[in-house]
Amino acid sequence: MPSAPGGPRLLLRRLREIMAEPVGAQDRLDKIVVLIAANMVAEVCSVYVMRGDGMLELFATEGLNREAVHQTTMRSGEGLVGLIAATAEPLALSDAQTHPAFSYKPETGEEIYHAFLGVPLLRAGNTLGVLVVQNRTLRVYAEEEIEALQTTAMVLAEMIAAGELQALAPVETGIALRRPVYQKGIALADGVGLGYVVPHEPRVVVKNLIAENVEAELLRLEHAIAEVRTSIDELIERGDVAHHGEHREVLETFRMFAHDQGWLRRMREAVTSGLTAEAAVERVQSDNRARMQRQTDPYLRERLHDLDDLANRLLHRLVGRNLVAERGSLPENAIIVARSMGPAALLDYDRSRLRGLVLEEGGPTSHIAIVARALGIPAVGEVANATSLTEQGDAIIVDGAAGEVQIRPSSDVEAAYAEKARLRARRQEQYLKLRDVPPVTKDGVPISLQLNAGLLVDLPHLAETGAEGVGLFRTELQFMIAERMPTATEQQSLYSAVVAAVGDLPITFRTLDIGGDKILPYMNTIEEENPALGWRAIRIGLDRPGLLRVQIRALLKAAGGHALKIMFPMVATCDEFIRAREIVEREKAHLSRHGYPLPSELKLGAMLEVPSLLFQLKEICAVADFLSIGSNDLMQFLFASDRENRRVADRFDPLSPPMLRALKMVVDEAEESGCQLTVCGEIGGRPLEAMALIGLGYRSFSMSPSSIGPVKAMLLELEAGPVGTFLRDELERAGGGDTLRPKLAQFAETHGIPI
């Protein structure tokens, strides 16, 4: 393998000299390709730049036919260069011509070259072009050569981003500096938000890349590392996290990483090769991010996340920015873009200025999604590369219903969404008008519509929507957003505030539903192969009765003198319910012995989420005062389909016969036993599904606030009798698998029912 004559350091120094020369853009670019070819011992070096129309155009070459410059073009995805642009990944081949994507451009004369190394010109996640070197021989490019070319590509990308090459592009297209990008993700919280990007962890855009003085840069790097280490020590020793526990261990590991010799060595080497301290940190961070994306092991992913966070801290130090102060103030119409976010983080932002949330991670039932829904903030999750595709201040649109994001939208796209947002607002106004209309079907069947809640901020929705009460209060939210286990007093004070806020309306608290996807950061978790089927919810409550007792006591005290409903999550057997009920009875007796006022009425229920209860319906109805169907979990267990796993989450339809028949069994038995029945899973909040449930005989629902209006609008136009007959007939006639969705939608349409 031929070795580069000057090495990367000399190359960067020469590049800096060329950048400072008073020559035109084309001359500068021509000199650069000659320099790179010589330094890399390659016969060819070419620069392709992405134009505004999405075409890659050859802007300069050493080695290929000069006549092809500004003539040869290709689409993103076309040929090897197009492939690099499309994947944003380097590509090294010892014989390019045997690669299936190879496409031959006769005007360039490249047929005599075999070895090929190309890297994308990346800036802030945008591909601005491709840099290629080629050799006649069948040679293998070494890892260091690929890295050296990537470092050079950073300088070229910066040159393009600074607008230097704009004049060389055709006037009609220009260069695609900040192209519009459409990204599909998944819907987390309904609504349309138009605004401007505010990165949750503002990334530092490194502008100064090439070191003037390597020794001075090394010193800057060492200083920044020392400062970051001290700040982490301070963070860890702060009173609130100094206690033992998993949280502490995570931070200790984080601290250890700040001393990781491999990481530090790689950054020092990058500085020694001629980069500034910040460019070196960013270079190593990019490598780490690429590794993180490929990494499937959750433990290693977390560790790489730690390194990424450390790199961010270093970058902020190096460019002299203060993270905390920047987060404190939020511009108007802010759309927060984050890789991931804890459920509490959203609460820190000024909600009056917040228009949306975009996450690279986070499924529909993640806790940040639940909080976003509670706050009414449109949110989209699983948006690939959201943080690297966007920069502070970029225009962005979040469509929380469709699960779509438009980054730097064109003016017509923006106008279309603005119209959509206006339409939505108008519909919201109509729903507001329905607020005081009793939820009774056209044929006079009253339907109870209640709210799902979990935070105090949810409760004003009661008045706004005209809901009849709170049918599911997810008590775990308080635990999940806290930094440590809420004390008995803290629990009681939240429950008292909730009881006061609902006044005379009914309230159903669900006891702690943790485990599975709901993790408390401060609680020791045990590794489980299948956490959704593991130690969670009422199972933890019964095995650690201390936890459940404290909560029950807090609930009973808070609801003294008021009617109270308590339900238990994930009940799989009647025995579990009976044991939970005994804990409540004991607490009730204890409080009454000590003279506390008890709830005026107390009803205990089981959530029906585990299919085993379907086969103990009579028995559970005999011991429970009410049942509440947690359809989110019931669906996942009935179809063995992980609700958090995108590949399977939407694979099965709740409107298919298996689920509808299960739901019918429950409503029939509940009616026969005189057991109250509610649906509190997401299924009840969707108008078409709610219509089917009313057809099956369901009369009580609890749903997220934004669903009340659409479901009420639907049922006001519905006749419960005919939809019941229709559904029973269809269910009898249906085969095993076919969903009844199209038939139900057709029914709604012919009967003028808005769904």
Question: Tokens 């802007």 identify what position?
Answer: 59
Assess 476 for contact with Mg ion (CB under 5 A): no
596/560 Cα distance (integer angstroms)? 7
Residue 287 or 644 having the CB closest to Mg ion: 644
Residue 131 exposed, middle or buried by CB count within 10 Å (0-12, 13-18, 19+): buried
Residue 373 or 553 having the CB closest to ligand PEP: 373
CB of 632: closest distance to Mg ion in angstroms?
5
Residue 272 exposed, middle or buried by CB count within 10 Å (0-12, 13-18, 19+): middle
Torsion of CA 555, 560, 564, 570, to 10 degrees: 20
Q: What is the DSSP letter of 40?
A: T
DSSP string, 654-695: TTSHHHHHHHHHHHHHHHHHT-EEEE-SGGGGSHHHHHHHHH
- Strand, helix or coil at 62? strand
Residues in region 558-617 near ligand PEP by CB under 6 A: 609
What is the phi-psi region of residue 163: left when phi exceeds 0, alpha when psi lies from -120 to 50, beta otherwise? Answer: left
Residues in region 650-709 near ligand PEP by CB under 6 A: 680-681
Please count the CA atoms within 13 angstroms of the CA of 49 that sit on its side-chain side.
29
Question: Tokens 């090769």 identify what position?
Answer: 273
Cα distances (angstroms) measured from residue 167 to each of 15, 162, 753: 21, 12, 58
CB of 618: closest distance to ligand PEP in angstroms?
23
Which one from 200, 367, 461, 562 is the annotated catalytic residue? 367
Torsion of CA 95, 98, 101, 103, to 10 degrees: 90
Residue 211 or 608 having the CB closest to ligand PEP: 608
CB of 425: closest distance to ligand PEP in angstroms?
28
CB of 633: closest distance to ligand PEP in angstroms?
3
Residue 677 or 713 having the CB closest to Mg ion: 677
CB of 345: closest distance to ligand PEP in angstroms?
20
Assess 366 for contact with ligand PEP (CB under 6 A): no
Amino acid identity for residue 60 in this structure: A
Neighbours of 450 (CB within 10 A): 25
Residue 43 or 517 having the CB closest to ligand PEP: 517
* Contact in structure between 517 and 632 (CB atoms under 8 Å): no
Residues in region 609-648 near ligand PEP by CB under 6 A: 609, 630-633
Task: Considering only the stretches 42-50, 526-534, 549-557, 633-641, report the one whose residues sit in contact with Mg ion under the rule CB under 5 A.
Answer: 633-641
Asked if 680 is an active-site residue, the reply is yes
CB of 365: closest distance to Mg ion in angstroms?
9
CB of 298: closest distance to ligand PEP in angstroms?
21
Which one from 45, 621, 675, 680 is the annotated catalytic residue? 680
Residue 59 or 568 having the CB closest to ligand PEP: 568
Residues in region 103-142 near ligand PEP by CB under 6 A: none
Residues in region 735-754 near ligand PEP by CB under 6 A: none
Residue 496 or 632 having the CB closest to ligand PEP: 632
Q: How many helices (H) and strands (E) does the chain have?
A: 27, 22
Residues in region 114-143 near Mg ion by CB under 5 A: none
Please count the CA atoms within 13 angstroms of the CA of 491 that sit on its side-chain side.
26
What is the 3-state secondary structure of 556-586?
Answer: HHHCCCCEEEEEECCCCCHHHHHHHHHHHHH
Assess 282 for contact with ligand PEP (CB under 6 A): no
Residues in region 85-104 near ligand PEP by CB under 6 A: none
* Contact in structure between 114 and 97 (CB atoms under 8 Å): yes
Residues with Cβ < 8 Å from 722, sequence gap 6 or more? 443, 751
Question: Tokens 């990424």 identify what position?
Answer: 308
x/- mask, ligand PEP, residues 459-478, rule CB under 6 A, reads -------------x-x----
Query: Binding residue for Mg ion (CB under 5 A) from 630, 654, 685, 697?
Result: 630
318/146 Cα distance (integer angstroms)? 26
Binder of residue 195, out of ligand PEP, Mg ion, none (CB less than 5 to 8 A by kind) = none
Residue 278 or 633 having the CB closest to Mg ion: 633
Residues in region 419-458 near ligand PEP by CB under 6 A: none
Residue 121 or 567 having the CB closest to Mg ion: 567
Residue 313 or 474 having the CB closest to ligand PEP: 474
CB of 609: closest distance to Mg ion in angstroms?
5
Residues in region 597-616 near Mg ion by CB under 5 A: 609
CB of 509: closest distance to ligand PEP in angstroms?
13
Binder of residue 292, out of Mg ion, ligand PEP, none (CB less than 5 to 8 A by kind) = none
Q: Output the six-digit token pair for 292.
A: 């993180």
Residues 579, 583, 588, 593: is their CA dihedral positive or negative? positive
What is the phi-psi region of residue 597: left when phi exceeds 0, alpha when psi lies from -120 to 50, beta otherwise? Answer: beta
25/517 Cα distance (integer angstroms)? 54
CB of 526: closest distance to Mg ion in angstroms?
20
Query: Binding residue for ligand PEP (CB under 6 A) from 513, 576, 653, 730?
Result: 513
Binder of residue 289, out of Mg ion, ligand PEP, none (CB less than 5 to 8 A by kind) = none
Assess 633 for contact with Mg ion (CB under 5 A): yes
Residues with catalytic roles? 367, 680
Binding site residues, ligand PEP, CB under 6 A: 365, 472, 474, 513, 609, 630-633, 680-681
Binding site residues, Mg ion, CB under 5 A: 609, 630, 633
